[in-house]
Amino acid sequence: MKRRSLIKAIAAGSVTAMTPLATMLARSAMAAEVQRTRTLFIYHPNGCVPDVFFPRAGSLAGASFPAMTAPLQPVAQHLLFLDGIGYEGTANTHEGGALKCLTGVATSASGASSIEVQMGKEDWANRATSGVSRPSLQMGVGTKWGSDTSKRVSYDNGTSLHPVDDPRILYPQLFGAAAAGVDPNQIQVLARAREDLTRLSTALGSIERDRLEQHVAALDVLEQKLNAASMSGCLDVGTSIKPRVDAVIGGEEQALWATQVLANISAIQQDITVATLSCGITRSIAFMYGVPVSPIVVPGTSTGDHDLSHQDAAAHTTSKVWWMGQIRQFIQKLAATPDVNGSLLDNTIICTVSDLGHGNYHNHHRIPMLLAGGKNAGLITGRSVDLRPLGEPGKRWGDQVATQGGVNHSNVLMTIAEKAGYTSVRMPTANGRIGNVWINGNGL
């Protein structure tokens, strides 16, 4: 097939002899000059202590970060803290906050769809131009604890979606099956596509070829990490490495959130996230670190995260800093990944959420929310904004009334959706926008 015919066929999705991975990477490479905004919603468990989470309002340049967010100081220029955000509605405590945080509902999951699911449906409906091969993605680290579906943040028309937290399952689901005849205990998706990728590289132009080689190199490193971690026992999960259907709905898979494996699994799941967004598999991901009431014992501590959240600020800080360190690594990896007009971080809006505001008080006010990246979408970072003076005082958030002003978190979600180019997203409790943190934006 001649170069022009091959490229047209790939763009139209009509190449049947080529492996799915090669076709997907080729389509992404051919969109090397198309700027697309991605979104990444990161959940971290059990709230915070707001007074030691939020930096003082103003510029973050040279500012001293409070104890809980100190690990984020090296990426201060990419951050926007939003103090004074609340979850409206009577659904309360941990599970109520988890229900609200990405759906914007007030009380019930009935009919609820989380923001990344809504975005994904719009992308899927327009996949001829969006280029996605998957509408949205739900993934995470240590998400299997809990026996009910209320410990989830993602919903599709009222049905909770369960994030995949085993990278050995997730990677083949996203990038394809291994080549025939390879070691079944090794993940070797690239091996199956090598011949096609070599042929493609000679047919593409220099810009497209560079992008294709970037994708292949990243996946090659990722597969090596996956196989090294699994075979050396760094994952140590006692389940087959062979891809399997992740049918765990509730209950516990404790090995996947054991303290000694958390850092390894987190790093690999982050790499899968970066590759997924960079390759254009999807534009929107919800990533859960733990679950509401998470008992995970993070590195550097000896007590479960939930128990620490019900002690004093110093105790809760010992676990929260680990989660914040993981978010810092996420930001750094996205910043180090080239993309159109800058980095993948420049083209990705990150939003962090949690199930609570103050972890010990069980309230839904002053949620530990921050945004990051999004430079090419107009987000103004490198500062901390206190929205309490602009919000509504004496308002009920969950089962508690806040004396300070608060702004509805669904206003933030709606603004993100619109800045990322979506038109069909709806948040039931939204009553405005957070325009004043974007270039040429104004008002709430």
CA dist 368 and 371 (Å) reads: 10
Average pLDDT over residues 144-154: 80
With respect to residue 442, please indicate whether it lies within any of the assigned structural domains: no
With respect to residue 359, please indicate whether it lies within any of the assigned structural domains: yes
With respect to residue 409, please indicate whether it lies within any of the assigned structural domains: yes
The pLDDT score that the predictor gives to residue 241 is: 34
Tally of CB atoms within 10 A around 98: 28
The pLDDT score that the predictor gives to residue 434 is: 94
Q: Are 69 and 331 in contact (CB under 8 A)?
A: no
Task: Judge if 49 and 17 occupy the same domain.
Answer: no
Q: Which CATH number do you get for residue 432?
A: 3.40.720.10
The pLDDT score that the predictor gives to residue 255 is: 74
With respect to residue 443, please indicate whether it lies within any of the assigned structural domains: no
With respect to residue 194, please indicate whether it lies within any of the assigned structural domains: yes
> What are the backbone dihedrals phi and psi of residue 83, each rounded to the nearest 5 degrees, phi first?
-90, 145
The pLDDT score that the predictor gives to residue 144 is: 80
In the structure, what pLDDT confidence band is assigned to residue 249 with cuts at 50, 70 and 90?
very low
Number of domains in the chain: 2
| Final residue before a domain boundary, out of 219, 245, 271 | 245
Average pLDDT over residues 126-134: 88
CA dist 86 and 88 (Å) reads: 6
Average pLDDT over residues 186-210: 68
Task: Tell me: pLDDT of 179 over 60.
Answer: no
Task: Judge if 128 and 26 occupy the same domain.
Answer: no
Average pLDDT over residues 223-244: 51
Task: Tell me: pLDDT of 127 over 70.
Answer: yes
CA dist 164 and 334 (Å) reads: 21
Task: Judge if 147 and 9 occupy the same domain.
Answer: no
> Which of 41-55, 131-145, 297-311, 319-333 is the least confident region?
131-145
In the structure, what pLDDT confidence band is assigned to residue 181 with cuts at 50, 70 and 90?
very low
Task: Judge if 214 and 272 occupy the same domain.
Answer: no
Task: Judge if 299 and 390 occupy the same domain.
Answer: yes
Task: Judge if 277 and 307 occupy the same domain.
Answer: yes
List of residues 6+ apart from 8 with CB closer than 8 A: none
pLDDT in tens, 394-409: 999 999 999 999 999 9
Between 275 and 364, name the one with better pLDDT: 364
With respect to residue 320, please indicate whether it lies within any of the assigned structural domains: yes
Task: Judge if 262 and 382 occupy the same domain.
Answer: yes
Average pLDDT over residues 110-115: 95
The pLDDT score that the predictor gives to residue 8 is: 53
Task: Tell me: pLDDT of 190 over 90.
Answer: no
**Mean of per-residue pLDDT scores for the chain:** 85
Task: Judge if 387 and 407 occupy the same domain.
Answer: yes
Between 272 and 216, name the one with better pLDDT: 272
The pLDDT score that the predictor gives to residue 25 is: 67
> Which of 221-235, 264-278, 335-349 is the least confident region?
221-235
Task: Tell me: pLDDT of 202 over 80.
Answer: no
Task: Tell me: pLDDT of 13 over 60.
Answer: no
With respect to residue 347, please indicate whether it lies within any of the assigned structural domains: yes
In the structure, what pLDDT confidence band is assigned to residue 261 with cuts at 50, 70 and 90?
confident
> What are the backbone dihedrals phi and psi of residue 402, each rounded to the nearest 5 degrees, phi first?
-95, 130
Q: Are 8 and 26 in contact (CB under 8 A)?
A: no
In the structure, what pLDDT confidence band is assigned to residue 173 with cuts at 50, 70 and 90?
confident
Task: Tell me: pLDDT of 151 over 60.
Answer: yes
The pLDDT score that the predictor gives to residue 287 is: 99
Task: Judge if 12 and 67 occupy the same domain.
Answer: no
| Final residue before a domain boundary, out of 245, 271, 302 | 245
Task: Judge if 205 and 284 occupy the same domain.
Answer: no
Average pLDDT over residues 251-273: 83
In the structure, what pLDDT confidence band is assigned to residue 22 with cuts at 50, 70 and 90?
low
Task: Judge if 129 and 278 occupy the same domain.
Answer: yes
The pLDDT score that the predictor gives to residue 253 is: 58
In the structure, what pLDDT confidence band is assigned to residue 239 with cuts at 50, 70 and 90?
very low
Average pLDDT over residues 302-331: 98
pLDDT in tens, 403-443: 999 999 999 999 999 999 999 999 999 999 999 999 987 76
| Final residue before a domain boundary, out of 245, 272, 304 | 245
> Which of 256-260, 337-341, 354-358 is the least confident region?
256-260
pLDDT in tens, 61-106: 999 999 999 999 999 999 999 999 999 999 999 999 999 999 999 9
Task: Tell me: pLDDT of 196 over 90.
Answer: no
CA dist 287 and 271 (Å) reads: 12
Task: Tell me: pLDDT of 235 over 60.
Answer: no
In the structure, what pLDDT confidence band is assigned to residue 236 with cuts at 50, 70 and 90?
very low
In three-state form (DSSP H/G/I as H, E/B as E, the rest C), the secondary structure along the chain is: CCHHHHHHHHHHCCCCCCCHHHHHHHHHHHCCCCCCCEEEEEECCCCECHHHCCCCCEECCCCCCCCCCHHHHHHHHHEEEEECEECCECCCHHHHHHHHHHHCCCCCCCCCCCHHHHHHHHHHHCHHHHCCCCCCEEEEECCCCCCCCCCCCEEECCEEECCECCHHHHHHHHHCCCCCCCCCCCCCHHHHHHHHHHHHHHHCCHHHHHHHHHHHHHHHHHHHHHHHHHHCCCCCCCCCCCCCCCCCCCCCCHHHHCHHHHHHHHHHHHHHHHHHHHCCCCCEEEEEECCCCCCCCCCCCCCCHHHHHCCCHHHHHHHHHHHHHHHHHHHHHHHCCEECCEECCCCEEEEEECCCCECCCCCCECCCEEEEECHHHCECCCEEEECHHHCECCEEECCEEECCCEEEHHHHHHHHHHHCCCCCCCCCCCCCCCHHHECCCCCC
Task: Tell me: pLDDT of 314 over 90.
Answer: yes
Q: What range does the domain containing 358 cover? A: 38-166+254-437
- Please state, for a pLDDT cut of 70, what percent of the chain lies above it: 77
Task: Judge if 301 and 181 occupy the same domain.
Answer: no
With respect to residue 293, please indicate whether it lies within any of the assigned structural domains: yes
Q: Are 413 and 153 in contact (CB under 8 A)?
A: no
